[in-house]
Every structure is written in C-alpha cells, then in structure tokens.
Structure 1
Amino acid sequence: MATIDRQATTLALAHALSAAERGLAVIPLSRTKLPALRSPHRDDPTAPPCRGDCGRFGHGVYDASTDPRRIRELFAAAPWATGYGIACGLEPHHLIGIDLDTKSGTDSSAALRELALRHLFTIPETVVVLTPSGGRHLWLSGPPDVVVPNSASRLAPGIDVRGAGGYLVGPGSRTEHGVYGTAPGTARLAPAPCPASLLRLLLPPPRSHHTATGTSTSGQGQGLVQFVLAAHEGQRNTRLFWAACRAYENGLGPQLTEALVDAAVRTGLTEREARSTITSASRMTLPHP
C-alpha cells in the first residue's frame, strides 16, 4: 500500500506541475479531496483569520501556487497526497468551475441545457474533467474584474459552482472513489470564456433599491413588457422567462407580474403558462434561504 501511495503522490505532483505550467495555481489534496495540509492554527481557537501571512503551509487555496519550487515543497510536506486542487478565480484564467453532479439523483446536464435554452447561451468548447462518480467539471474563464462566488445547487439542483476561494480537483488526481481525468479531446484546450448570460446567473442578484416610482423604473419595466410583446411563436416562453428574471433581479418582480402576464397572454400563452414561467423565474433569481 505504501508503494502505491508513493506512486500516486508522484503522479499527482507531476500532474500538478503540468497544470502550473498552464498558469493554474495548485495545492496537494488527500484521498478525501480535502487539502492535504491541515491548518497550523487548528489548535489555537483565538488565532485571528490567516491566509498564509504566517508563512506556514496549511491554508487551503491560499497556499496555491504556480511556482514549481513551492509546489514541490507543498507535496514534500504532504507525502500522503494523492491528488491536487486547482484554485479558482486567480490570474491569468480566473477559473470558474461548473460541477455537474450525479449523486443528487437529478439530471444536472439536462438542467444546464434548460438554463442555456431559457437564457439564450451555449456552453463553448472547453476543458471537461470527468469525475469517478460519473459527473463532469466544466472549466470556464471569467473576467478579471468579476468575483464569482461558490454556490451549491443555486443555479439548479445538482449544479455546483466553484469560484473565488474554491478549488477543483485536478485531472490525474486519485481519490477514494477513483481517478479524475479529462474528457477526450479537451485536455489541451484553454478554459473558454464564460458566456455573458451564464455569468449573470452565477453572480448574486443585485440588491434592490426600493425608491418611489419614477421615470427610470417605469421605463425599465415598460421595456421588459415590450420585450415580451415582441415575441414570436417559439420564443414566447423564453422571452417571458428572461424578462421576469431581469424584473426580479432589479426588485420589480411583484410590480411587473400582472403586466408581464398580460403581455404573455397577448402573444398567445395561456395565463396559467405565463404565471408558471414567472414563478420559475422568481425561484431561479431570488436568493435561497
């Protein structure tokens, strides 16, 4: 077993160094997919929060590096490591991970396709990592000035997001459940830019600024209603869903509901269909408890 572990550690280090050559900052992981090095402050409950300022290892993604010498030092300090994690949100890729899980009993791939249809985006050709459980990690690149938070099933059941402060298990890592690997044909791809419509979904809804009704709010609401009214057959539900999402994101959902329902009915949807679509938009957009 010790020989196997040493081999796994050697392979993990080799894969980690290869990832670092591509600009991806890495840390060693244990077989449980957790950072292999424990916090040096774990026995001191009074210690202030530390992100590696103390100079010691054991700070999770804050230890992540692209420096080969430092990476070797990290793995030397954790000879039991059998995998590596790739820190998200860092230069130059500003990596965003879309984790399509299979353990939740839901079809997360179908949920992502539905989101893509509703919000008019397509997932570009990019790096895809296959997990031992049958799931997939999609690697996307975000803008340098946007911080994407981590989330679990906020987009849809079974879809987790890894953003700033999070990490993805790197391909070639060995865990308790098996080995992570890249999907055929994607290993040498760069993380593709995240579609703008998807990026908006990944960000927390903006805080609503409730003010007295004025020309700007009225104009914005009227624009969303007109957007629904302009729908042709085959795009009525999609346009209504998009407009309802924008309304709720901007704190106008309750005020615009009846106007949006009326507009949708005038384009050919039934009132029941329209209200169901708007309810789905509110659930998708409003923050979960």
Structure 2
Amino acid sequence: MSSQDVLREWALYCAAMGWHVFPLVSASKRPAVRGWEARATIDRDRIARCWGSGAFNIGLATGPSRLLVVDCDTAKQPGEVDGATALTRLADERGVELPATYTVATPSGGRHLYFTLPPGVRLRNTAGQLAPRIDTRSGGGYVVAPGSVLAEGGYELADDTDPAPLPGWLLQVLCERPAPATSSAGVGPVARPSAYAASALRGECDEVRSAPPGRHNEVLSRAAYRVGRLVGGGLLDAEHARAELTHAAHALVSAECGCTPAEVTRVIAAGLAKGRTQPRSLPSRSDAEVAA
C-alpha cells in the first residue's frame, strides 16, 4: 500500500470515529486549505476524493469533533519537567488518577491525549495554562492526526482506548482564567471578544499557518503586531491572543526552515508588545452595530 493510500485510510478512520478532518501540506503540520475548521469533514466521499489526489497529512479539527486534546510536550532544557510528568503531578495534587484515553505519540516524543467534551461545554485553546509544556486544543484548534508523517517521524497511535470524558478537575482548571499579566498599557482581560476582534484573530492565525517558506518570521511578526493592536485596544485578551498565535505558529516549526519554538515565542512576544503601543479601536460600523 502506498503512503498516499495509508494516509487516506487514516483520514477515513478518523471520520469513522466522528472526528472532522482536513488536509495538511504533505510531510507538514501546515493546513493545505484556508478556512480549515469550516471545511473539516467526516464525509467519506469528500475525504476519499481529497486524499485520492495527494499524500496529504491529516489535520483533525478539535472543535467540530467535540474533543479537548491535551498536548504534552517534551522538556527542552536540562532539569525541565516534561508535559506528561507535569500532568501526572497535577492529578496527584488532587488525589486523582488520569483515566486511560486515546493517545497519540508525536515525532518529538510528546503525547496527545484525547478527551470528549461534556454536552454544551465549549473550550478554547490554551498554552501553558495547565502547566509549562502543556497546551490544549479545542474550539478553533487542531492537532495532527495519527498516520501523518513529518521528516523527523510519524504520529503513531500509542493507546487506542476510546477517548475518555474530560475529567471534571481538568475542566475546572481550564475554565479558570489565569491572572492577567501586568502591562504598561494597563489592559485587563477581555471576557468575550467582539465578533470583529475574534474574526480578525482567526484571519491573522490563518495567515500565519499559510506563511510561505522564507517568510515565516515576517508573516508571524506582522500578525502578532496587528493582534497586539487589538489587545492594546482592549478588544482581545492578551493570553488568549498569545495562545492562538502560538498554536498557529506550530505549523511553521520544521526542520526545513530552522524555525524553533523559542524563536516563535520571541517573535510573537515582540510583535504583541509593539502592537500594544498602537492600540486599535473598533471600526465605526461595528460601533454603530453595538450601539444599536
């Protein structure tokens, strides 16, 4: 069976699990289509046609799939605690055990733990909210599905247990708002961004994911600056904006271009900080709609 056939079978397998999928660039974590969350599907005919046309990696849109995926990363520095250990410690502190659940091993040695969301619950992506080296993906996010392959290795199924319901204690922690970082602009947390600000953030994140080789830093810096202006204007929560940009920039980290997580973090921080010095307000049309 060819690699293209294998990827198609994995995409169909995900759809059979009720998980909405979309194509990623071959041997990459970068979406191959714009508007990927809206276009993610469980339709077997669409999937067969798409993966019949190329050896695409598989993106799994966590929001439509009603999943919360805990992304436990490996330690990057000597003495640093890896994400899986940190998550176990969080459970130990609460006197509970992590349930067995669907788990995917990543090429870097990390783990993706899949959990189902309770009915009516909507969660956003987080970066480091549970603990350092732990991100989560839900509404507005995606993970690379099992069967996908990067230059450094594949995403392999480590535990095929059906996804467990999201533990109540994890849901509680994820619903807690982290203390807002102190800023010179004095911008506090935003409880709910306007439709305009949320749409603008999604658009900038899509631009980052689609950044062409050789322009990764340029596109990421520009997006972070624009988003920073919205944060400075009190239209977006700073930590939410940082988490979304960081997740979008995961698609840029690859052996081919030399982008690293540390460089991505630096570029995002610099862009957000610069943007916050030039705060942006809502367009007049949106103001009028709100007033109405």
Q: TM-score, normalised by structure 2?
A: 0.56
Distance 2:154 2:178 in 1: 39
Structure 2 residue corresponding to 1:35, chosen from 18, 27, 31: 31
Counterpart-to-counterpart distance in 1, 2:116 and 2:175: 14
Matching of residue 191 in structure 1 with residue 166 in structure 2: no
Shift of 1:170: 1.1
Could you say what secondary structure the match of 2:46 adopts?
helix
Q: Aligned equivalents of 1:145 and 1:36: distance in 2?
A: 30
CA displacement, residues 39-93 of structure 1 (integer Å, 9 cap, x when unaligned): 3xxxxxxxxxxxxxxxxxxx1122111111111233356x252x201111325xx
Deviations 1:248-271 (A, max 9, x none): xxxxxxxxxxxxxxxxxxxxxxxx
Work out whether residues 72 and 110 of structure 2, in 8 Å CA contact, stay in contact via their aligned partners in 1: yes
In terms of mean alpha carbon deviation, does 98-107 or 62-71 score higher? 98-107
Matched, 1:70 2:66: no
**Paired residue secondary structure (1:122):** coil
d(CA) in 2 for partners of 1:149, 1:180: 23
Q: Within 5 Å, which residues of 2 pair with 1:40-51?
A: none
Percent sequence identity over matched residues?
A: 37
User: Alpha carbon RMSD of aligned pairs, Å?
Assistant: 2.4
State the shift of 1:10 in Å.
2.2
- Residues 100, 108 of structure 1: 8 Å contact kept: yes
Mapping for residues 1-289 of structure 1, pairs under 5 Å:
7-30=2-25, 31-37=27-33, 39=34, 59-76=35-52, 79-81=54-56, 83-91=57-65, 94-102=66-74, 104-105=76-77, 106=80, 107-183=82-158, 186-187=159-160, 189-205=161-177
Counterpart amino acid of residue 193 in structure 1: P
Q: 1:22 to 1:80 in 2, by over 3 A?
A: closer
- Cα–Cα, structure 1 residues 76 and 190, in superposed 2: closer, same or farther, change >3 Å? same
Partner of 2:86, secondary structure, is: helix
Q: Is the 8 A contact 2:115 2:164 kept in 1?
A: yes
How many correspondences in the alignment? Answer: 179
Letter of the aligned partner of 1:11 in structure 2?
V
**Residues 125 and 139 in structure 2, CA contact (< 8 A), matched pair in contact too:** yes
CA distance in 2, matches of 1:129, 1:21: 17
Consecutive unaligned residues of structure 2, counting only runs of 5 or more, are 180-237, 243-292
Is 1:121–1:195's contact at 8 Å kept on the other side of the alignment?
Answer: no
Structure of larger gyration radius:
1
- Partner of 1:216 in structure 2? none
- AA partner of residue 197 (structure 1): W
Shift of the 104–201 alpha-carbon distance from structure 1 to 2, 3 Å rule, reads farther
> What TM-score results when the alignment is normalised by the length of structure 1?
0.57
CA distance in 2, matches of 1:125, 1:134: 19
Structure 1 residue runs of 4 or more that deviate by more than 4 Å after TM superposition:
none
Q: Secondary structure at the match of 2:85?
A: helix
Write the letter of the residue equivalent to 2:103: V
CA contact (8 A) 2:105 2:112 kept: yes
Deviation at 1:103, TM superposition (A): 5.1
Query: 2:51 corresponds to which letter in structure 1?
Result: F
Residue identity matched to 2:44: P
Alignment CA distance shift 1:90-1:144 (3 Å): farther
